[in-house]
């Protein structure tokens, strides 16, 4: 079925793990073809992988995320999640955005319960899980706080717990900590790695920070704009868990330099 020749890079070796998301020549145009947001994206993402999508504005990274989530429809190519073609929003994926988009009139616990409420009347187990997830993201003392009483970083933690509450095994994170300060972002990145490893989720993480992309991921999709394309898929060899200190290692910096080179004159 999968014609290997269509792949941009041979580095999509799944290492024997099953493929969760597969794209082949995926394209998206807006305005009846006037704007090419994404072109010829081919990739395979194995189960439990952490993939970073990095590139400048307009490279189609958010578009790719929205295509996978089913929030928008592709104009060409094939895109499957768990072997099924994507058409419309589906429950296999959960999304998180740069803004926490919490509901101001709900406590943290109630915000996290929202995904359960959408599918059914929340059970006792749902409530326990929501409380558990808030503990997991480090908010055990803020179960009954309202969003306006939380800092930006804490609001994103609630959003992450809400994302996990969906039970989706694929997490799509669109610059989730992009609006936070450097220190908070670094802390949350580390916790994010711990948490997704703990729940065993497959994660796609959009960022425009090269070092952050490499630090977090098993694979980095390097993307360039006009038209939006995946120019290369870079494997990240570092062992997990990764301490912050690897960011100062020569190997890490060599990888950063390599990715930066791929952007050429674009950045």
The site for other proteins (CB under 8 A) is made up of 69, 71, 89-91, 93-95, 97, 99, 101, 103-105, 107, 109-110, 114-115, 117-118, 124, 127-128, 131, 143-146, 148-149, 166
What tokens appear for 92 in the block?
């296999």
Closest CB to other proteins among 30 and 105?
A: 105
Extended beta strands in 131-262, E state: 170-174, 202-207, 219-224, 229-235
Closest CB to other proteins among 149 and 249?
A: 149
CB of residue 73 vs other proteins: minimum separation in angstroms?
13
Extended beta strands in 48-99, E state: 50-54, 76-81, 84-85, 93-96
| Beta bridge partners of residue 94, listed in sequence order | 171
User: Counting runs of H as helices and runs of E as strands, what totals does the chain give?
Assistant: 7, 10
CB of residue 241 vs other proteins: minimum separation in angstroms?
30
How far is the C-alpha of 91 from the C-alpha of 69, rounded, in Å?
A: 9
Closest CB to other proteins among 163 and 233?
A: 163
User: What torsion do the CA atoms of 244, 249, 253, 256 make, to the nearest 10 degrees?
Assistant: -40
Closest CB to other proteins among 172 and 193?
A: 172
Closest CB to other proteins among 13 and 128?
A: 128
CB of residue 19 vs other proteins: minimum separation in angstroms?
23
Closest CB to other proteins among 127 and 187?
A: 127
How far is the C-alpha of 159 from the C-alpha of 101, rounded, in Å?
A: 8
Q: Strand order of the sheet with strand 93-96?
A: 93-96, 170-174, 202-207, 50-54, 219-224, 229-235
CB of residue 1 vs other proteins: minimum separation in angstroms?
28
CB of residue 118 vs other proteins: minimum separation in angstroms?
5
CB of residue 192 vs other proteins: minimum separation in angstroms?
19
CA distances (Å), origin 233, targets 9, 12, 266: 6, 7, 17
């Amino acid at each position: 079925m999968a014609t290997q020749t269509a792949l941009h890079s041979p580095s999509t070796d799944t290492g024997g793990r099953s493929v969760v998301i597969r794209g082949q020549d995926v394209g998206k145009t807006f305005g009846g073809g006037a704007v090419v947001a994404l072109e010829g994206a081919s990739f395979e993402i194995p189960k439990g992988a952490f993939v970073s999508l990095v590139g400048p504005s307009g490279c189609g990274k958010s578009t790719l995320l929205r295509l996978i989530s089913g929030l928008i429809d592709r104009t060409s190519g094939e895109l499957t999640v768990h072997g099924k073609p994507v058409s419309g929003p589906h429950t296999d994926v959960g999304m998180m955005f740069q803004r926490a988009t919490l509901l101001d009139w709900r406590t943290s616990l109630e915000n996290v319960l929202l995904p359960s409420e959408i599918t059914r009347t929340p059970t006792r187990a749902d409530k326990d899980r929501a409380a558990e997830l808030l503990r997991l993201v480090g908010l055990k003392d803020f179960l009954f706080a309202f969003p306006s009483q939380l800092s930006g970083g804490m609001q994103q933690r609630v959003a992450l717990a809400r994302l996990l509450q969906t039970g989706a095994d694929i997490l799509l994170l669109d610059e989730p900590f992009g609006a936070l300060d450097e220190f908070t972002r670094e802390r949350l990145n580390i916790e994010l790695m711990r948490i997704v490893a703990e729940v065993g989720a497959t994660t796609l993480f959009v960022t425009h920070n090269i070092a952050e992309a490499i630090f977090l991921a098993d694979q980095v999709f390097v993307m360039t704009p006009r038209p939006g394309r995946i120019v290369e898929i870079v494997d990240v060899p570092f062992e997990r868990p990764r301490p912050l200190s690897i960011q100062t290692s020569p190997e890490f910096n060599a990888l950063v330099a390599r990715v930066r080179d791929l952007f050429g004159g674009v950045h």
